Amino acid sequence: MANSKDIYHPSKEVVDYATIKDYDKLYKQSVKNPEKFWADEAKRLDWFKPWDKVLDSSNFPFYKWFVGGKTNIIQNALDRHLTNANRNKLALIWEGEPGDIRTYSYHALSREVCEFANVLKAMGVRKGDIVTIYMPQIPEQIFAMLACAKIGAPHSVIYGGFSHEAIAERVNDAKSRVIVTADGGYRRGKATRLKEIVNRAMEIAPTLEICITVKRTGEEVHMENDRDYWYHDLRSLPIAEKCCCTEEVDAEDPLFILYTSGSTGKPKGLVHTHGGYSVYTSATHRMVFDIKPEDRWWCAADPGWITGHSYMVYGPLINGATIFMYEGAPNHPYPDRWWKMIDKFGINILYTSPTAIRGLMRYGESWVTKHDLSTLRLLGSVGEPINPEAWKWYHRVVGKEKCPIMDTWWQTETGGFVITPLPITPLKPGSATKPFFGHEIAVVDETGSEVGPNEVGALVLKKPFPGMARTIFNEPERYIETYWKKYEEKKWYHAGDSAKKDEDGYFWIIGRSDDVIKVSGYRLGTAEIESAVVSHDSVTEAAAIPLPHELKGNAIYVYAILRDGEKPSKALEREVKDHVGKVMGPIAKPESVSFVDSLPKTRSGKIMRRVLKARALGEDEGDVTTMDD
């Protein structure tokens, strides 16, 4: 179990190397005048026109940052590097699962992005149009994102593991006319068939008119005239000529929409902006990982999630880092694939999830120790609480006890790190430690009073910050309802996590307090899973709960009521599991489906998932006075 007395102090070497040596002093200044802190950070970036006002809080909770400023994230992530020493520096090193390698300097990356942007423009994409991207982890995924940003067209990236129904639901909300995909990608030695999934999505997503497909695997795909185009055909046309001007946008113009699961069935399209998001991702990335010009940075996430957006693509590029990207599975062809690549490319910082660490841990130490990992300087963790056992293994076996672990707590909503150590922070395994600069954070009860040390409560963020999502696309009311209603009078952001703060001011995240399940760090709504279960013909009603799982952190357990006349069987259980996997994508496939006669409900008919969970774990059911018989 996590222990608040178990402390790892940074070595003298780490402290000597660190740029920020005094957290407390800088923290105090930052919260005394957050607007000054954020404005100073913003001044490190290029602006076409400076802002008139740092923060406009006149229309709570719809904060605006750097109001009146003109920018484009591409000016900072690419264009400005072309006129300085970064021009010929590697921006991107990519390795495909079969072992193919591609590298791009900042100059080369910018040319790729210009060509992609010109192709999008030729396909009729204009400033403000939302382009959907559904890609494997190949460089073109990044080109497509940056190309959209460059022309002021917000992107909506959908994780390549999602189903055609999930794509259609998101496309229909965003009303995308253009989708960018690939024939497929490689995963565990096999080619995935993304274009086929997009074709099925296009049948039920009427706004989609054009699909641009990048060739990766060479598998045969079905294409239709006047709808489907190969990217390599389009880029060889004169329309894709090399130069493309970066569109000037307002600081508050949307950069992207990213859909994430919430308490109700429909995914939320969180909106992030060019200005505030540029400032927030670059500042957090630079300070927390103490980025130096020579660093090779590997965020082993998928660009389809916020981690990929903020710390694989935008933050590191703004900071002029060299990013590493890998296409496939960590254990393919052998469980040392990651360690081999760290050795080969001389990676300095690895940022990944507890699930990935636990997954690699089970193969034993020798897969790690046979490679030279001495280039590693820092490690990172994100997505769910890291259990101390995995933390210690990561620290000892991967980091050789010399690399501090940055356990960063944040959310799709926050755009970047919120609770996190710095390299100089004394670490407690399992704790994300302390607030990042500019943040005041508390653990409170229902009424908003702070709970005592080590008591469980709700995590709230008290101050506005530039990385915060501005709204939920199409649903501003839901934005208020979900995050701001609960502590409206105090104007606090309600994060939806339960947490504790210990006597040293360290935060310990316990997990979601709403109907969101974290499986392998992926966020899934119980309502979405349940509606996928009941879309199976044999099922009438279902409840989904998370139960602890050794590798995944949590696994999904489903309790389902069968239609009259249907009989429970192993075969039916398998069928329902596969069905959910098909409807939502493989990550949502339940660990177990149990058929039951009834579900515990409140008198008003709400399923009491808490009771199901307590029963499954053999724990006390707690207060059941509202339960129907």
**For binding to ligand WT7 (CB under 6 A), which residues are involved?**
260, 306-307, 382-385, 407-412, 432, 495-497, 509, 511-512, 518, 523
φ/ψ of 194, rounded to 5, equals -70, -40
Q: Which is nearer to ligand WT7, 250 or 497 (CB)?
A: 497
CB of 26 to ligand WT7, least distance (A): 21
Tokens of 559: 């309790």
Burial profile 196-230: b = 16 or more Cβ within 10 angstroms, e = fewer = bbbbebbeebebbebbbbbbbbeeebeeeeeebbe
- Taking the least distance from each CB to ligand WT7, the nearer of 129 and 413 is 413
Pairing of strands 101-105, 90-95: antiparallel
| Pair 397, 336: CB distance under 8 Å | no
Among residues 2 and 624, whose Cβ is nearest to ligand WT7? Answer: 2
Q: Which residues pair with 513 in a beta bridge?
A: none
| Nearest Cα to Cα of residue 430 among 405, 458, 410, 397 | 405
Nearer to ligand WT7, 51 or 391 (CB): 391
- Report the residue closest to ligand WT7, judged by CB: 412
Nearer to ligand WT7, 498 or 602 (CB): 498
Task: Identify which of residues 199 and 260 has a Cβ nearer to ligand WT7 in the complex.
Answer: 260
- Name the minimum Å distance from CB 271 to ligand WT7: 14
Q: How far is the CB of 358 from ligand WT7 (least distance, A)?
A: 14
Task: Supply the minimum distance, in Å, between the C-beta of residue 1 and ligand WT7.
Answer: 15
Closest separation in Å from C-beta 354 to ligand WT7: 8
Residue 394 vs 409, nearer CB to ligand WT7: 409
Helix (H) or strand (E) holding 282: helix 274-288
Within 8 A by CB and 6+ apart from 452, the residues are none
Which amino acid is located at 374 in the chain?
Answer: S
Closest CA to 144 of 128, 159, 133: 133
Q: Nearer to ligand WT7 by C-beta: 235 or 610?
A: 610
CA 339, CA 336: separation in Å to the nearest integer? Answer: 5
Amino acid at 33: N
| Structure-token pair, residue 298 | 């590997």
In angstroms, what is the minimal distance from the CB of 286 to ligand WT7? Answer: 18
**Shortest reach from residue 463's CB to ligand WT7, in Å:** 18
How far is 540 from 560, CA to CA, in rounded Å?
8
Considering beta carbons, is residue 496 or 600 the nearer one to ligand WT7? 496
Check residue 47 and give left, alpha or beta (phi > 0: left; psi -120 to 50: alpha).
beta
What CA dihedral angle connects 305, 156, 481 and 558, to 10 degrees? -50
Q: Are strands 493-501 and 457-461 parallel, antiparallel or unpaired?
A: antiparallel
**Least Å from the CB of residue 461 to ligand WT7:** 11
**In the complex, minimum distance from the CB of residue 160 to ligand WT7, in angstroms, rounded to a whole number:** 16
| Minimum gap (Å) between residue 610 Cβ and ligand WT7 | 17
> Strand, helix or coil at 37?
helix
Burial of 596 (C-beta count, 10 Å sphere; 0-12/13-18/19+): middle
Query: Please, which residue, 169 or 384, has the CB nearer to ligand WT7?
Result: 384
